[in-house]
Amino acid sequence: MTQREVKAAVLLIGDELLSGRTQDVNLQAIARFLAPLGVQVAEARVAPDVPEEIAAAVNALRARYDYVFTTGGIGPTHDDKTADAIAAAFGVAIGVRDDARAILEAHYKGAQHLNEARLRMARIPDTAVLIANPVSKAPGFQIGNVFVLAGVPSIVRGMLQDIAGRIEGGAVVRARTVRGRGVKEGDIAEGLARLEAEAPGVSFGSYPWFAPEGFGLHLVARSSDMAALDKARDDLRALIASCGAEPEDVEEA
Amino acid sequence: MTQREVKAAVLLIGDELLSGRTQDVNLQAIARFLAPLGVQVAEARVAPDVPEEIAAAVNALRARYDYVFTTGGIGPTHDDKTADAIAAAFGVAIGVRDDARAILEAHYKGAQHLNEARLRMARIPDTAVLIANPVSKAPGFQIGNVFVLAGVPSIVRGMLQDIAGRIEGGAVVRARTVRGRGVKEGDIAEGLARLEAEAPGVSFGSYPWFAPEGFGLHLVARSSDMAALDKARDDLRALIASCGAEPEDVEEA
């Protein structure tokens, strides 16, 4: 029996990602978190700190995919526009919510004041469920199939732990990677296309690398069928060996 | 006189970016290349190796922005689907083109054979203009306002050099960044919102960082008005000083 494919989209929010100021690392972290749960990231977008853009992207993506994960824009400053944009996308009200306020009150006691700005982080759209933030406490939230996470990578990783139990995955796609030093794409392209044609449940990719010490290829097979995947790895090894190179298995992250 | 804003979108193509196998670095490289030319990246997307998805994204983006830059999917292997997808998006024919073939023939002479697979890299949509690849020779191409680049970061950087002269930029947006160690967003949020409200041509952002050795904020002002930007930096310094921290200027990349 074949399990169904479960697909997700990632929406990275923030002017700093588009200006080049900040190098995103959250897409990769989310994809690697979801893969063993049986969820494949099928699309990603990067949106600026513009509420209408965020809302439009969320609505396009949540209609099309099983899950949507957003990062960024839920802090206390004026450029944090995600919560209001998500509320607008879902057509629900938003305001400071008691459960979120209680978390912040417990955290910001004593020297640090729970001021007006920090209270913005307790603004949660109606019907949303909180996501725990083990790093800096201000929560994320889930509304429908959309998970709204922070932007700081360590907080994203913490929040993902809280939602693992809320994800219903499907078939788990795994990968096998074989490296060939000194092999060029043009030498294996025909053989690789033949493998792809002959193994319907497996997808094959070719990723060249160039470095001061040399060049080569990573050939990757991906499938939810483990027997087919093991055969695919053997086939990739043989393909690289046919170019006169020593095939090297690469450990998956 | 205010120069017009010129906006671009970036479309990153490849299953490996969505699976988490590969960490993209091209978005940041393209954004940093375009900024001094007076072009702002306003949106980005990541598409899988699916021709219909690539074509739909290109058509959505090229209609909306002054320029579109794609990366990935123009190599010799079966999973390189970008060139055909772009031709489909523009409704033009595609085939091996003499100018591209000549480049490959000059490169693949002697030991390395210009085989069928490598010749795929000479498939160029009709009406497109080639983009030189100083690293591995196989060209990219420009069609209309869409620039189709390789996926390997060193090749992307090389191709960008070839197209700098084809870009008509507008107002150049510059940034000033001030760091405050030990400062929290909640302490400067109100002051930052006031700065944003009082300086119409400047946008302000707040980016917290957490590290084993401590935490803090980067406050960033962005504007095409240099006088307003210098004032904004002074204001950011004062805001950080008002929290009892020493403001530190951060060199822009």
* pLDDT (0 to 100) of residue B108: 86
Contact flag A20-B35 (C-beta cutoff 8 Å): yes
* pLDDT (0 to 100) of residue B182: 95
Q: Give residue-wise pLDDT tens across range A115-150.
A: 889 999 999 999 999 999 999 899 999 999 999 999
**Predicted complex ipTM:** 0.94
Residue B152 with chain A: CB contacts under 8 Å: 208-210
* pLDDT (0 to 100) of residue B110: 61
Q: How far is CA B32 from CA A23, A193, B134, B252, in A?
A: 11, 36, 20, 10
Indicate which of A77, A79, A107, A243 best probes the interface with B, i.e. most B CBs within 10 Å of its own CB: A77
Q: Give the mean pLDDT of A212-241.
A: 96
Cβ atoms of B132 and B159 closer than 8 Å: yes
Considering only CB atoms, A77 lies closest to which of B31, B177, B185, namely B185
Q: Give residue-wise pLDDT tens across range A63-80.
A: 999 999 999 999 999 999
* pLDDT (0 to 100) of residue A143: 98
Task: Give the mean pLDDT of chain A.
Answer: 95
- CB burial class (10 A; 0-12, 13-18, 19+) of residue B212? exposed
Residue B192 with chain A: CB contacts under 8 Å: 77-78
* pLDDT (0 to 100) of residue B113: 82
> Two tokens at B20?
């988490």
> Two tokens at A56?
């439009």
The pTM for the full model equals 0.95
Nearest to A48 by CA among A83, A15, A85, A19: A15
DSSP state of A109: -
Contact flag B18-A41 (C-beta cutoff 8 Å): yes
Q: What are the beta bridge partners of residue A222?
A: A175, A203
Percent of chain B with pLDDT over 70: 98
* pLDDT (0 to 100) of residue B111: 53
Q: Chain B residue closest to A19 (CA)?
A: B31
- Collect the ranges in chain B with pLDDT lower than 70: 1-2, 110-112, 253
Cβ atoms of B11 and B61 closer than 8 Å: yes
- Coil/strand/helix, residue A139: strand
CA distance linking residue B48 with residue A42, whole number of Å? 7
Residue A199 above 80 pLDDT? yes
